[in-house]
Structure 1
Amino acid sequence: MDALTRLHRSLAGGDDEEWQEDDILGDTEGLCSLSPLQRLYAFAACLVAGLALMMLSLIVFARPIKFALLFTFGNIMAVGSTVFVMGVNKQLRMMLDPVRVYATAIYVGCAVFALIFALLIHDKLLTLIAIICEICALFWYSLSYIPFARRIVSNLMVKLCDTEL
């Protein structure tokens, strides 16, 4: 079990002192605490469920409202699954890091707009536009975790499309 704890800590990043700070639901440790193995299982289950919802959304692609609901909830579950590995505090700090704060805001905003357009307004065109923007924002957000990826994509856009991101 000690090897599993070390693996979990290395995945979450940080030493023992930082680990206590970033522990999932650290301030409610007595109410809800998960072992490292349980966290990895929860991460895998949440990620698989999110990916399954995103794949199922392709089946109902012709119905933009159902597509938006399945895709957005699946997307949120897949991104949120990392909370089980890193902890809530570290996940929020990473999402609000100056490098990716704009991409995070656009991604969350587009996900909220997609749900509003699908559930409340029932407008298919606005829902699809929000989903497309959500996918682009998630792609840009994901690139922020790969060193120099944003710069490479930006340079590629300049060369191919004569425009810059």
Structure 2
Amino acid sequence: MDKLKSVLSGEEARRDDRNVVQQLNKASTLGWGTRIKGFIACFVVGVCVLFLPKIGITLFIVFYTFGNICALCSTMFLMGPMKQLKRMCDKTRALATTIMLVSNTLHIYEWTWKNFGLALLFVILQVLSFTWYSLSYIPCVRFTFFCNMCKYL
């Protein structure tokens, strides 16, 4: 009789759902050692690919710049392309947009130079300009962010 009550009330289904979720969680959870080994393996592969003769830095430049362009274009899906382009040219984010687009262009052009130092410089410029650009969409955050960063320097 208790079994029939639990089936009719839906309690049995909830218990089965919990068991399935617990089993999936247990099967997909990685231990700390496995996570460290995976991190080391991916890191070593990434560094080795970066220093492949003739194509390592080129692959990095292409994928990093493509990733930045995709991240920038992703907001066009949220607000539309024309509105996004108008907002990119606002006076509050025009400088960040210009630096970001110039560093992306120089990063692609650096592909022909194959200079690791310049590639690193353009990556740093891209990260900083993209961060500054992204923070410009949140009111009053850039000034607060800048003041807090200066406190730690």
Normalization by structure 1: what TM-score?
Answer: 0.57
Structure 2: distance between partners of 1:152 and 1:61 = 36
Q: Does structure 1 conserve the Cα–Cα contact (< 8 Å) formed by 2:57 and 2:114?
A: no
Larger-gyration structure (1/2)? 2
Could you say which structure has the higher helix fraction?
2
Structure 2: distance between partners of 1:71 and 1:92 = 22
Provide the aligned C-alpha RMSD in A. 1.7
Structure 1: distance between partners of 2:146 and 2:67 = 28
Identify which of 93, 97, 102 aligns with 1:100.
93
Q: What letter is aligned with 1:71?
A: Y
The percentage of counterpart residues that share the same residue type is 35
Map residues 5-154 of structure 1 onto 2, 5 A cutoff. 59=46, 60-62=49-51, 63-118=56-111, 120-154=112-146
2:145 corresponds to 1:158? no
**C-alpha displacement of 1:70:** 0.3
Q: Does structure 2 conserve the Cα–Cα contact (< 8 Å) formed by 1:65 and 1:124?
A: no
Structure 2: distance between partners of 1:93 and 1:158 = 31
**C-alpha displacement of 1:61:** 4.3
Q: How many residue pairs were aligned? A: 103
Structure 2: distance between partners of 1:66 and 1:94 = 31
Q: Does structure 2 conserve the Cα–Cα contact (< 8 Å) formed by 1:111 and 1:134?
A: yes
Q: Does structure 1 conserve the Cα–Cα contact (< 8 Å) formed by 2:99 and 2:129?
A: yes
Q: Which runs of 4+ in 1 moved over 4 A?
A: none
**C-alpha displacement of 1:157:** 2.6
Q: Does structure 2 conserve the Cα–Cα contact (< 8 Å) formed by 1:65 and 1:127?
A: no
**C-alpha displacement of 1:127:** 1.2
Unaligned segments of structure 2, at least 5 residues: 1-44
Structure 1: distance between partners of 2:122 and 2:113 = 13
**C-alpha displacement of 1:132:** 1.1
Q: Does structure 2 conserve the Cα–Cα contact (< 8 Å) formed by 1:68 and 1:128?
A: no
CA 1:150/1:61 → structure 2, altered by over 3 Å: closer, same or farther?
farther
Unaligned segments of structure 1, at least 5 residues: 1-57
